Structure 1
């Protein structure tokens, strides 16, 4: 992987930066330009304008600025602007094939959108860059993408300082397990014992009238989530993977100010019955 190479500059002349990057998103601007959001290895997330890129066959050849592409970019900072000038992009790894399977494409969009939402502009985060590179490559080859997506979400939450604790209650510190009937903590910190919710409304936790407002997280799902923090968990039952997806979606909702657009697409794909990978 390349680290940024900064060309020495004279006073008043912008420094040129070369670094590897992943394309998170792009949009047309004017008749011939692209504005792209990139996650760079050296500078973190940046937005840049590529002048004439929609007509260029040399500086921005082919699909180089398509989402998911891994590129080497040459850019400079625009004066008094957060927007970079993108001078040239060269393709390092082509990920266009991710769009050939609806579920894989949906999860790749989810990973890109979540990365954009949970990283700060111009804040170097090489660990997140490596994580996204590894995740997109895994989406290309793995028989099931969900375990890799779950691992990605948990690692990104950790990077943001929102690591969920699935081991102990976030209020009393009791070990999470069948005896404590753990539910998702509405503060987004992990889990709490269901009894705390009962006590808050003045009910005995053993009272049969008490029904937790959120689903009790059973031990198989807890075990899956604990393992997924450190690695993708292959071979999990489909029901557990589906429950993990819903729980992590809810956890993200507690932290993000608005829903992810890619989640709506994934829900649509699932409704159409495209839960498995289609053959390539």
Structure 2
């Protein structure tokens, strides 16, 4: 079977056996993929430099599994963006992993019509790298996420968040009214997200 190539954001890595890794990632079309990276913990040439880490935006060369639902075999990986600033700050890392966790629970294998989910993930991670007000950004992401998933209906107080690109969250955080809204609603919206992803059935443990 011929090799394929694609771009992905890594959601999770799992050690498998002594040297293999299972990599779960979301593609640019929003579909979830599972890869087996054989001997990844030994191969510095193919997977060196900690490239197979959650948060990384990567290019993969891989082969499809021979049977339905079989994992793809990862042959090579190239780093496109590592979001280094996120890894160097605990609060940024915590928020970045929160985003990945949300996305991992709703992304679906074979879904090729959810590019909005990939875009939300990428733009939010880039915003996390630059943000200084993590609570505003977290509420911004949660509202976009829940609205895209059809969980919430538009309420007046949500309008500034849903009408503003996630990449412009820094400017949004400069508004004192937005900070007040965040203080009032973040807890309840975060709880709604937690409840939703627990019940979302994406087959993604």
For the aligned pair, the TM-score class normalised by the smaller chain equals 0.7 to 0.9
Match of 2:46 in 1: 59
SS of match in other structure, 2:109? coil
TM-score, with length taken from structure 2? 0.83
Kindly report which structure 2 residues correspond to 1:1-280, keeping only aligned pairs within 5 A, or say none.
Answer: 13=1, 15-42=2-29, 44-80=31-67, 81-124=69-112, 125-167=114-156, 222=157, 225-231=158-164, 232=169, 233-237=172-176, 238-257=179-198
SS of match in other structure, 1:67? coil
Return the alpha-carbon distance in structure 2 between the equivalents of residues 71 and 25 of structure 1. Answer: 13
Residues 200-240 of structure 1 show CA distances to partners (whole Å, capped at 9, x for unaligned) of xxxxxxxxxxxxxxxxxxxxxx2xx2211122332245553
**Contact 1:118 1:156 survives alignment (8 Å):** no
Unaligned runs of 5+ in 2: 200-205
**Contact 1:151 1:230 survives alignment (8 Å):** no
**Contact 2:30 2:117 survives alignment (8 Å):** no
Return the alpha-carbon distance in structure 2 between the equivalents of residues 33 and 66 of structure 1. Answer: 14
SS of match in other structure, 1:251? helix
Deviates more, 1:112-121 or 1:229-238: 229-238
| Shift, 1:117, TM fit | 0.6
**Contact 1:19 1:42 survives alignment (8 Å):** no
Higher normalized helix content (fraction of residues): 2
| Shift, 1:241, TM fit | 2.1
Return the alpha-carbon distance in structure 1 between the equivalents of residues 195 and 153 of structure 2. Answer: 12
| Shift, 1:156, TM fit | 2.0
Return the alpha-carbon distance in structure 2 between the equivalents of residues 256 and 154 of structure 1. Answer: 14
Query: Structure 1 residues 42 and 76 mapped into 2: Cα distance closer, same or farther (>3 Å)?
Result: farther
| Shift, 1:72, TM fit | 0.4
| Root-mean-square deviation (Å) | 2.1
Query: Structure 1 residues 78 and 43 mapped into 2: Cα distance closer, same or farther (>3 Å)?
Result: farther
Residues 98-155 of structure 1 show CA distances to partners (whole Å, capped at 9, x for unaligned) of 1222211111010000000122122122222122111111111122233232222222
TM-score, with length taken from structure 1? 0.62
**Contact 1:26 1:65 survives alignment (8 Å):** yes
- Number of aligned residues: 190
